[in-house]
Structure formats: structure tokens, C-alpha cells
Amino acid sequence: MPDRKAVLARAAELRAHFEGAGALAVEPPILQPAETLLDLYGEDIRARAYVTSDAMRGEQMLRPDFTVPVVQMHMMQGAEPARYTYAGTVFRRQEHDAERANEYVQVGYEVFDRDDPAGADAEVFARISEAVAGLSLRAATGDIGILMAAVRGLSTTEARKAALMRHIWRPRRFRALLDRFARRLPEPAGRVALLEAADPFAEAGTLIGKRSRAEIEARIEALRADAAAAPIAEHQLAALETLLSVRETAPYALQHLRDIAVDLPDLTPALDRLTARLEAMDARGVDVQRLDFEASYGRTSMEYYDGFVFGFYAEARPGLPPIASGGRYDALTRRLGRGAEIPAVGGVLRPGLMLELEGTA
């Protein structure tokens, strides 16, 4: 394990480098109100973040990352466009793997910019990439926005699309929903009986609790409407499945995705954004011809990303978490912005892992 002083010194260097590139250094507090994080991530965050409390402020969390507090700070007072950098410790509760660090230093670079999203994506990627140059890392990239566009473009009901969008970051659940909406699975046993019953409430007994009879009736109506709706067409499902399996160097991936867009025409704007991003990356000296692109990348661990996503991995050390990672999180600014929103993209580095790889620890 690298010595903490060395890690902090490297973190300070990296932050100074980002300041030199025009970013404003910020110092968000370590304790964050738990409510905001719970609303964003749901109960699962409790398995990943340390929770503490006091009688005055209620539940607080030791920051699991910087993105949320930086977005909140920007939405309160930031001028536009803005670039921020920070360096500090984040805390991650570990329940399943004692080998993983429960606190470590992160250095980040975040860009809030309305005018040129492709340029901002390329800028963040290039800055992070420069910082890890020399460590012979493999870069993985993806784009959650393409999958979202594919879902929006399905010829099916809005309710089904909303259900799929809600579970885009839970691949197994997403798969199960797709199978259901395509009628590849039989309906649950009681479902048919419920929808055919003259009085669905005949055996219900006393209703207790906050969920009202009207809400139950509304759900039954929704189930009836879903039962009456046509299954998602096979050619669209096949296109979506092909899309999820795309994993090639960026130019081939783009070509492949353009072919898929024949069956899912709503993909085109998202693919135009990918094209523009690759051009902007190329202009910044990134070797896009050899850059890996994976359409499913970032679906499991990066819940707030909704566009470009990337990570840098030490191939020789497959057990290590990504040395750097990042992505676009426009929707997060919308949810934290109380009516306001701004396109945003950022990335973080782990100086401790960088030192470990350099063997200077």
C-alpha cells in the first residue's frame, strides 16, 4: 500500500495540474446529508456508504464521491461555463470484499458547459488520459445515451418504456422486463385470474395502510392496458440485443450501430453525438481508431451517468478497480437543480492506485 503522504502529494500535483488547465479548486464537506443521496440512489447506497447521525441534522453520510456535492454547489452559485477540480478522501463501506479499500483519495475534474457537449466529453477524457499516460492502461468507453435512445425509440407503450428506463442500470431486471414485454415469458399464475375477475377485491379482506384502493385499481387498469398492448416486435428486440452486444474499436462500433439504427431510427441523434465526440477526441489527439467502445459499458456501477462513460484499467492487474473513470451526468444536474439543469461531464483519478502501479510506494 502506498504511503498516505505520498498519495496526498500526488493528489495535490494532479489537482494543481487541473487548476493550471483552468479549473477552480473546490473543497466540499466530508459529511453530506443522507437524504439527498438516498433519494438519488435508493436504499442500496446504505450498503456502499457509511451513515452516521446526530440529533440536530439527522442522518449524514461520509461522502462516497464528490460529484453530488460539486453539482449541488454549482447549481447554487456557479457561473457558466465552469470547470472544477478537487482532491480528497472518499469513503466506501465494504460488506462483501475485505480486500477493497474503504477510504481512498480521489482527484476529479468536472466540466459544466451548455454549448459544446462533444467538446466537453473529449476535454475530460483527454485530461484524465494525459494524467494516466505512461501507466499502460486500457481505456474502455461507452454511451448510456445510446441505450436510452434505443429504449425511447421502441414502438411500444410509454408505460413500458418508462419501466425499462427506470431499470437501465439493473441489467438483469431490464432483461426480465424486456422478456415480459415481448411475451417471451408466461404471465404469472394469478395475473390472468386477477384481470378476468368480475370483482378483483372479492377475497381482499380489510384494506390497511397508506396505499389506497384507488391506487390498487389504477394498477389493475395499467395491467389490463399492458395485457391488451401488442408485444414489442421481434425485429426491434433483436436490434436492441445486437446493440447491447456491440464491443469493438470505436469506428467499427459506430458503423455497426448505424446498421442497427435501420431498425431503431431514433438512435440516429445519439449516434450523431457519438460521431461528434469521436471527432472532438481525435482533434485532442486521442487515438480513436484504436479506442474500445462497448455499448453495455457502465450499466452496472455508474448509476448517475446517462451519456458518455469511460474507465481506465490496468490489464496486468485485473483485480484492481478502475484507476480512473468518469462520464456525463446531465440528468443528475436536473434532479439536484430544483428546476434548473446544465449538461455536465467529469472524471476521477485514484492517485493511490497510480502510485501502486508505478511501484514507487
Partner 1 sequence: MSLKLGVPSKGRLMDKTFDWFDKRGIRLSRSGSDREYAGVVEGIDDVSLVLLSAGEIPRELAAGRIHLGVTGTDLVQEKLPLWEQQVKEIAALGFGHADLILAVPRAWVDVETLDDLDAVAAAFRAHHGHRLRIATKYHRLVRDFLRAGGVADYMLVDSQGATEGTVKNTTAEAVADITSTGETLRANHLKLLGDGVILHSQATLWRSRIAVFSDTERAALERMLQRLAAIP
Q: Which residues bind partner 1 (CB under 8 A)?
A: 38, 42-44, 46-47, 95-96, 98, 163, 166-167, 170, 172-173, 176, 180, 188-191, 194, 200-201, 203-211, 213, 215-216, 218-220, 223
Nearer to partner 1, 319 or 359 (CB): 319
Q: How far apart are CA 123 and CA 172, in angstroms?
A: 33
Q: Which CB sits closer to partner 1, 77 or 206?
A: 206
Q: Which helix (H) or strand (E) holds 277?
A: helix 268-283
- Residue 175 CB, nearest distance to partner 1 (Å)? 10
- Nearest-approach distance from CB 102 to partner 1, in angstroms: 12
* Least separation in angstroms between CB 9 and partner 1: 34
The answer to whether 112 and 26 have CB atoms below 8 angstroms apart is: no
CB of 45 vs partner 1, minimal distance in Å? 10
Closer residue to partner 1 in complex, CB, 132/163: 163
Shortest Cβ 95–partner 1 spacing (Å): 5
Q: Which is nearer to partner 1, 45 or 82 (CB)?
A: 45
- DSSP for 189-241 reads HHHHHHHH-SSTTTT-----SSS-HHHHHHHHHHHHHHHHSPPPPHHHHHHHH
Are 294 and 247 spatial neighbours (Cβ–Cβ below 8 Å)?
yes
Q: Which is nearer to partner 1, 133 or 189 (CB)?
A: 189
Q: In whole angstroms, what is the distance from residue 287 CA to residue 273 CA?
A: 18
Smallest separation, CB 7 to partner 1 (Å): 26
Are the C-beta atoms of 257 and 146 separated by less than 8 Å? yes
Residue with Cβ nearer partner 1 (5 or 172): 172
Q: What angle do CA 152, 338, 93 make, to 5 degrees?
A: 80
Q: Which of these, 253, 315, 259, 335, lies nearest to 290 by C-alpha position? A: 253
Nearer to partner 1, 8 or 195 (CB): 195
Closer CB to partner 1, residue 38 or residue 73? 38
DSSP characters over 308-334: EEEEEE-TT-TTSPPSEEEEE-HHHHH
CA distance 125 to 286: 9
Q: Strand, coil or helix: what is 301?
A: coil
Q: What is the CA radius of gyration of the chain?
A: 23
Instruction: Give the C-alpha separation, 100 to 97, whole Å.
Output: 6
In the complex, least distance from residue 162 CB atom to partner 1, rounded to whole angstroms: 8
Rounded least distance, CB 132 to partner 1, Å: 31
Report, in Å, the least distance between residue 201 CB and partner 1: 6
Nearer Cβ to partner 1, position 46 or 258?
A: 46
Give CA 250 to chain center in angstroms.
Answer: 20
